[in-house]
Amino acid sequence: MKLKLYYTYIGTLLFLACSPTQTLQSYEDKVVAIQASADSTALAIIAPYQSAIEEEMNEVLSYTKYDLEKAKPQSTLGNFVTDLCLNYADADICVMNNGGLRTTINTGNITRGKLYELMPFENELVVLELNENDYLGLLNYICKRGGEPFSGINITMNEEGEIINHSQPVDFSKGEKIRVLTSDYLANGGDKMSFFQNKEQIKVGTKLRDAIIDYCTKTDTISIELDDRIKIISNEQ
């Protein structure tokens, strides 16, 4: 039996060795249209689920008096998200990034579906503790980028992105650390937030999107305006 398998193996090798070599001379990259009608049976199965999902996504959770938009150095959308998140964790400040907020919310009703558009990711809320050096790294990051969403502190900077003044909610001289609420994506160094890396992450147990939805569900009317949390001083002043 072993001898038979051996000859079969040798024969296969000889066959492959004697096979002519094929060389690809050219190829054409194009889209081939496929004409097909929808499967009525499949559509009938999907329809009840689709209807239920649409009903859930169209549910009105809250109302905003002003447009919630992204901008720098601060924005109504960034202030809205970072302010509300501080209600869901024991933290001194909250920091997010503009890139993670995926849409704007116009004045009027806010639906569940709109909040899924705003935050389509499954990001978890986590708390990190920063020493003074890492905290200054965070402030410099915000200023050099011309502003990112944050809550809980005030920053004054010049037009070159240099820090002129800032607040700090803890006393670093006593060995205290500042507790920062953010997403697990940023906590792992996402969007070049290297000052967060290699820190213990305390999980809040809530997804960022779920916190936003819960807040809107409990808040009839949202009224977010710009404030003085970040100021840019002209070099001429």
The answer to whether position 17 is within a domain reads no
Q: How many domains does the chain have?
A: 1
CA pair distance 67, 119, nearest whole angstrom: 17
pLDDT band with cut points at 50, 70 and 90 for residue 41: confident
pLDDT at residue 25 in the model: 54
pLDDT at residue 21 in the model: 53
Work out the percent of the chain whose per-residue pLDDT is above 70: 84
The answer to whether position 28 is within a domain reads no
Q: Which two tokens stand for residue 104?
A: 């704007």
Q: What is the mean pLDDT of residues 129-142?
A: 98
Annotate 155-186 with b (16+ C-beta within 10 A) or e (fewer): bebeeebeeeebebebeeeeeebbbbbbbbbb
pLDDT band with cut points at 50, 70 and 90 for residue 51: confident
The answer to whether position 38 is within a domain reads no
pLDDT at residue 30 in the model: 67
Least confident among 18-32, 88-102, 148-162, 176-190:
18-32
pTM: 0.80
The answer to whether position 209 is within a domain reads yes
Give helix then strand counts, H and E, for the chain: 7, 11
**Does 6 have pLDDT greater than 50?**
no
**Does 13 have pLDDT greater than 80?**
no
CA pair distance 178, 162, nearest whole angstrom: 21
Average pLDDT, the chain: 88
The answer to whether position 37 is within a domain reads no
pLDDT at residue 235 in the model: 76
The answer to whether position 6 is within a domain reads no
The answer to whether position 148 is within a domain reads yes
Place of tokens 């002003």: 66
The residue range of the domain holding 130 is 49-231
The predicted-structure confidence for 110-125, as pLDDT tens digits, reads as follows 999 999 999 999 999 9
Q: Which segments of 19-148 does DSSP mark as H helices, in order?
A: 40-57, 76-85, 112-118, 132-144
Pairing of the two strands 155-158 and 230-233: parallel
The answer to whether position 145 is within a domain reads yes
Contacts made by residues 185-194, CB under 8 angstroms, sequence distance 24+: 185/100, 185/121, 185/123, 186/95, 186/96, 186/97, 186/100, 187/126, 187/128, 190/97, 191/97, 191/99, 191/100, 192/141, 193/97, 193/138, 193/141, 194/137
Least confident among 2-16, 125-139, 176-190:
2-16
**Does 208 have pLDDT greater than 80?**
yes
Q: What is the mean pLDDT of residues 208-223?
A: 98
**Does 128 have pLDDT greater than 70?**
yes
CA pair distance 12, 188, nearest whole angstrom: 51
Residue 103's domain is classified under what CATH number?
3.90.780.10
pLDDT at residue 16 in the model: 46
Q: In what order do the strands lie in the sheet with 230-233?
A: 163-166, 155-158, 230-233
Least confident among 21-25, 27-31, 153-157, 168-172:
21-25
**Does 5 have pLDDT greater than 50?**
no
**Does 151 have pLDDT greater than 50?**
yes
Q: Which two tokens stand for residue 153?
A: 């502190």
pLDDT band with cut points at 50, 70 and 90 for residue 8: very low
Q: What is the mean pLDDT of residues 168-196?
A: 97
